[in-house]
Amino acid sequence: MTLSITVLRGGLLAAAAALALGTAVPQAAAQESDSGNWLFVTVTRGERHHADAPGRLLLCDPPQGHRKAAEACAELDRVGGDIRRLERPEAFCPMIYAPVTAHARGEWNGRPVEYHETFSNGCGLAARTGAVFAVDG
């Protein structure tokens, strides 16, 4: 029993270190999703993705990870995990330049997902990507 607790602690510490360093998404955490559909999503202010940016692990079976996980998973399922194919709802965003950069990496239906795009502001991000990057709150 002591050995399994030590192994568990070591795994948790390694996962926490990987997240803190921004080097990798802990595979064990992603495997909590029965479907294998998961994304590690980040949103940073500015025109560049920062490796140390805090993010959220979006799991889709069952949906969890941020406040709009169920909606994000449904949207991603509709486009086969391809964020670039998300429909653009009619949205009217202010013409204020306050850039945000969205980054996602993970797996959808057994295929790797890598997405990176900078938007002129948060409204543009939400209008283009729906609930996928709703990491605030």
- Residue 105 φ/ψ, nearest 5 degrees: -145, 145
Rounded-to-integer distance, Cα 3 and Cα 53, Å: 34
Residue range 68-109, pLDDT digits in tens: 999 999 999 999 999 999 987 788 999 999 999 999 999 999
Rounded-to-integer distance, Cα 8 and Cα 106, Å: 23
Domain 25-129 falls in which CATH fold?
Answer: Subtilisin Inhibitor (3.30.350)
Output the pTM of the full model.
0.73
Residue range 1-31, pLDDT digits in tens: 444 343 334 433 334 444 444 445 444 444 4
Show me where the domains of the chain are located. 25-129
For 84, the enclosing helix (H) or strand (E) is none
Structure tokens at 46: 């500015």
CB 73 within 8 A of CB 62: no
CB 124 within 8 A of CB 93: yes
